[in-house]
Amino acid sequence: MPQRKLGPVPVLQARGVAFGSCLALALILTLTLGGLVSLEALGADGTASVSAQPQRSGEGVGLVLSPIPAWVELAMRLVPRAPLEAQASSDYAQLILRAQMNGTLVSSTDGRVLSLRRVTQRLIQEAPRWSAMAPGWRWEVNLVKDSQINAFCMPGGKVVVYTGLLQTLALSSDELAVVLGHEMAHALREHSRQRLAKGLAAQGVSRSVGVVASGVLGVDPRLTDRLALEGANLWTLKFSREEETEADLVGLDLAARAGFDPRAGLGLWRKMAQMSSREGAQWLSTHPSHESRLSEIERHLPQVMPLFEHAQHLERVKTYHLEESARGQH
């Protein structure tokens, strides 16, 4: 789902251009040698695509994602974690304050807010599997009156859900858990930080390729600048779609471990598909197509269903012991 944009980080732009120049040099050398290789090939595992492999544990089968490509990890050094989370916290506080002043912030005693926080709390308990920082975050969950069908989780665990999402889609608890798990996954996997880092690197690559092409090949620099920027946009859009797919998978894993039925993801995205008046080409979209999204969820359900079944078993055992304890007191 669309995520609220964070404030700019201008001090990193120059460093991003310099870093991008190094990436550009690697790309240009590759082209010169006659081998067109994607920047994704610079990844530690040879691919930047989302790949989830099963992993067995005492809880059943879980998801293990491919590692972040090496060049992305290097670019992420341009965007320190602490300032980004501080900026997100500040933006979130302003958003909540504005909602309070406008009378659109739903009361913390409202049943919908209580339900949201109960579901989120169960998901938070499973979050450390996906981020070692999660236990130290000051998680916040708020509901804002707005007709748009949207929700987001900012870096540091700041969650906002709009009433339009709850009212329009009439979400079950399982579907709500899948939505919240998806949004939390963006924060847990540091997608905002990755997006900013990739943007800075892409900016540097664009400018460097333009300079080299215009100087060596004699092409009008205005043309190379335009083509380079358009290429950079397509590049960042591609990763954005992959991040959305990754968030889908991590969200399913979180929901299943917390005892929510991950199959609800299929019903959720079918509802979303029905609400979409029109859908653009997948290549130029920041989200996967609904058909692609449903296919990925179905493909990975066998890996997360055992987690859900294990959580259900633990809940039954807990309920049994509570009932036995209550009988013993009478």
* Residues known to be catalytic: 183
Pick the closest to residue 195 from 84, 113, 329 (CA basis): 84
Grouping H, G, I as helix, E, B as strand and the rest as coil, residue 55 is strand
> 64 - beta bridge partners?
53
Q: Please tell me the distance from the alpha carbon of residue 163 to that of residue 106, in angstroms, as a whole number.
A: 9
Triad 34, 40, 43: Cα angle to 5°: 115
Q: Please tell me the distance from the alpha carbon of residue 164 to that of residue 170, in angstroms, as a whole number.
A: 10
Triad 16, 18, 21: Cα angle to 5°: 105
Which token pair is 13? 């732009």
Question: In Å, how far are 92, 99, 114, 159 from 103, measured between CA atoms?
Answer: 16, 6, 18, 18
Pick the closest to residue 161 from 173, 174, 179, 178 (CA basis): 179
Helix residue ranges per DSSP H, the chain? 13-32, 70-76, 81-102, 111-124, 163-169, 173-188, 191-216, 221-257, 264-275, 290-328
Grouping H, G, I as helix, E, B as strand and the rest as coil, residue 199 is helix
Q: Please tell me the distance from the alpha carbon of residue 113 to that of residue 119, in angstroms, as a whole number.
A: 10
Q: Please tell me the distance from the alpha carbon of residue 207 to that of residue 35, in angstroms, as a whole number.
A: 22
Question: In Å, how far are 13, 34, 133 from 125, measured between CA atoms?
Answer: 37, 51, 13
